[in-house]
Structure 1
Amino acid sequence: MILEPVNPAIAQAVGLMCRERDFREFSAVTGLYDREQLSLWMAGCYGSLEGLLAASADDGIPVCVGGAVHIRPGTAALLFYATDCFDEIGLPMTRFIKRQYFPQLEAQGYHRIECVTSAAYPEMHRWLEVLGMQREGVLRSYGAGGEDFIQYARVSGARTTSH
């Protein structure tokens, strides 16, 4: 597996060839239902974001784009999309996220890593749980077409509040 910072061309290429279920999920949160339009949107939004990575199989062809985006102090939101070739790097990617990426985020001061995913995407739910994330709840009618999503999070160093 080859990791590199994402760029607009990679973000667009992976978006154009992303798995059908990733396309449906991103369409639901963007309102873009044309692959070309969605891939151009991904290039513009994700192609230059610091901290996002692209992963390729050993042949150098990009397979996935993902990473964490700072959304508020101590909290990062995950995003991820991949082509049908993700199975070629799925195991090393899972190991990388669990053993290196999440610990790096926590070392940078992130105590909460969260993401939302389509309620109709059980494969992603299983993978997020393998990564150590916990299901927090259902977000009703979260998508542009009224689709339900599920909130997942990994919380470290949580403190109790006193009133």
Structure 2
Amino acid sequence: MILEPVTYATALQVGQGMRERDVMEFAAVAPVGAEDLAPWLAQRFGRRSELLCARTDDGEPVCIGGAVEVRPGSATLLFYGTDRFPEIALGMTRFIRRHYFPSLAAAGTHRIECVTLDSYREMQRWLETLGLERESTLRAYGRDREDFAMYAWIDADARSPRH
């Protein structure tokens, strides 16, 4: 697995080859339809310094991901990939658990959240493997009233109530 900063070109390429379930998920919350999703993703996320592109050992970009700060100390996890993602899934999982989340926590992030289609069980299992826990169901969250699930990773120091 090769990790590098995301570019417009890699965000577009991964978007054009995105897994069907990822297309369904993003299309449910994006302001564009599935046919315009890849260029929209590339425009929105292709130049974000906090996002990474992962390539297979043969150089093909297979996923775009990272955490984008949405509030002080809180970030939302963004991820989309191609059908070749399973080739690097284990390496990506190890990287996130051992290095990425700890580096975010060291920089002051105490919450990483992610929403996913409530029916996207494969993604939910992966989020749980990464250490996120299901918090709630977001009813009628998507464009066509699709239900989503909210998952979150909370830093151990932030788990005790403050107020």
So what's the TM-score if we normalise by structure 1? 0.96
Aligned to 1:23: 23
* Structure 2 CA distance for aligned equivalents of residues 40 and 133 of structure 1: 29
What displacement does 1:160 show? 1.2
* Structure 1 CA distance for aligned equivalents of residues 71 and 147 of structure 2: 24
1:67 aligns with 2:66: yes
Aligned to 2:142: 143
Root-mean-square deviation (Å) = 0.9
So what's the TM-score if we normalise by structure 2? 0.96
1:13 aligns with 2:8: no
Runs of 4+ that moved beyond 4 A: none
The 3-state SS of whatever aligns with 1:84 is coil
What displacement does 1:31 show? 4.2
Question: Gaps (5+ residues) in structure 2?
Answer: none
* Structure 2 CA distance for aligned equivalents of residues 60 and 141 of structure 1: 39
* Structure 2 CA distance for aligned equivalents of residues 149 and 50 of structure 1: 27
What displacement does 1:50 show? 1.5
The 3-state SS of whatever aligns with 2:15 is helix
1:101 aligns with 2:100: yes
Contact 2:24–2:34 (8 Å) recurs in 1: no
Contact 2:3–2:54 (8 Å) recurs in 1: yes
Calculate percent identity across the aligned residue pairs: 55
* Structure 1 CA distance for aligned equivalents of residues 71 and 132 of structure 2: 19
Contact 2:136–2:149 (8 Å) recurs in 1: yes
1:160 aligns with 2:161: yes
The 3-state SS of whatever aligns with 2:77 is strand
What displacement does 1:161 show? 2.9
What displacement does 1:91 show? 0.3
* Structure 2 CA distance for aligned equivalents of residues 155 and 10 of structure 1: 30
